[in-house]
Amino acid sequence: MAAVYPLRSSALLNAFWIPLAFQEAALLAIAVPSKLLELAPNGYTAALAVLASAAAFVSMLAPPFAGMLSDSLRRRGGGRKTIIIAGAALDVVSLVLAAHASTTISFGCFFLLATIGANASITAYQALLPDTVPRELWGAVSGMRGAANLLGTVIGLTIAGTTNATVTFDATAIFVGLGALTVYGIRMPRYVESETPSEERARIRDWHDFIVTFVARLFVGFGLSLLMTYVLYFFHDVLHVQSASGSTGLVAGFALVGAILSSLFLGKLSDRFVRKGVVALSGVPMALAAIGFGLFPNERAIYFFAIFFGLGYGGIFSAAWALAIDSIPKLRDVARDLGIWGLASNIPAVIAPALGGWILERYGSTLFAYQLLFFAAGLSFIAGSLVVLAVHGPARGSSKIVLQGGALDGGEQR
């Protein structure tokens, strides 16, 4: 029987990604740099480099442990929702405290606590997709995930680009708190580890594919970290726009409109064709756009390249995510392994801001310095596309799971 997963269930499953993406986009790209301009006007570049690297470092610690705890609770008949809600609660409280911090140190500490909470919540939440969705629909549902992420990013950048940092942090806290409640509407299949078919489906690929996708993600994450961390300062230092926050949000909005559409299309496409090919092609427009940012540093050209960048960015959010789940050796440890895979985003987020900060300190806030950053990002995207082609790919098979209203036949678990 063909696998089925209703659209309503898919939308509910991915709803919490909207506020989580809101937080990631609004804070690191705009609100945090803006807040540091207020708290450290004479050393904002160095302060951002330190804080961004520290946030990425703590992000490496939380996911594997939260994932192991989530998998353990799941196997013992519990649920992942406990971890999701607990992490969201820590996130919300810390965001409110960070919004009203008056010193760089206190702001940094509260921001790091919020980062820990968000990462713990994300680690458990992302495992719900392979828990509930038939394998041959992972790409399509991941496309919905990508669209939700990108929608949250657009909203987050819009809010951050039109308000001050304090309002952005408070709005993020409210949005995350409300979004976390949606997970209670997700109906979970009952976990039965003893069934032979489940064990067969759990053994998806060997560690080769996992390592390859991990390395490819390292390169892509490095490029994204360089762009997201310093793009606001590019508008401020090189283009000298009146509102760097507003311009950052506008350019990102151009990119994300195209990305939302390409995410849905490329996610479904990756279910029908070789997924690694779709992922590899997604990196090409991202690389060309990043290099174009450096070669043509004017606002009109940047808007064009932003749209072009978004076409590939949508594929990274959908097809690449489905490929990551494909590569996991055993689904019983899916949250743990996805937490480990997430390190491929967090490790570059430690290195890239530090390298970018060093370049800006070495060459000053000049066009040449930012060109080096953008060219490095473009080369990283190209490297990621080449590496992912080494994935062997999962054996094709057909799942006989049919989901009605989001629950597996045979019972559900809240």
What string of pLDDT tens digits covers the 414 residues of the chain?
456 667 777 888 889 999 999 998 889 878 999 899 888 888 888 888 889 888 878 888 888 888 888 888 877 766 788 899 999 999 999 999 999 998 999 999 999 999 999 999 998 998 888 877 877 777 777 778 878 887 898 899 889 888 999 999 999 999 999 999 999 888 766 554 544 344 444 444 467 888 898 999 999 999 988 887 788 788 888 887 777 777 777 777 788 777 877 877 777 777 777 888 888 999 999 999 999 988 998 878 888 888 889 889 888 777 777 788 778 777 677 777 887 877 887 788 778 888 888 898 888 888 899 999 999 999 999 999 999 999 886 534 333 333 333 333 333 333
Domain-embedded: residue 368: yes
Domain count of the chain?
1
Measured CA to CA in angstroms, residue 224 lies from 148, 256, 376, 384 at distances of 19, 14, 10, 12
* pLDDT number for residue 94: 97
* pLDDT number for residue 237: 85
Q: Is the pTM of this model over 0.85?
A: no
Residue 403, strand partner residues: 408
Domain-embedded: residue 198: no
| CATH number of the domain where residue 22 is located | 1.20.1250.20
Domain-embedded: residue 269: yes
* pLDDT number for residue 220: 92
Domain-embedded: residue 237: yes
* pLDDT number for residue 188: 67
* pLDDT number for residue 381: 95
* pLDDT number for residue 204: 47
Domain-embedded: residue 305: yes
Domain-embedded: residue 410: no
Domain-embedded: residue 2: no
* pLDDT number for residue 176: 96
Domain-embedded: residue 94: yes
* 149: containing domain: 7-186+203-394
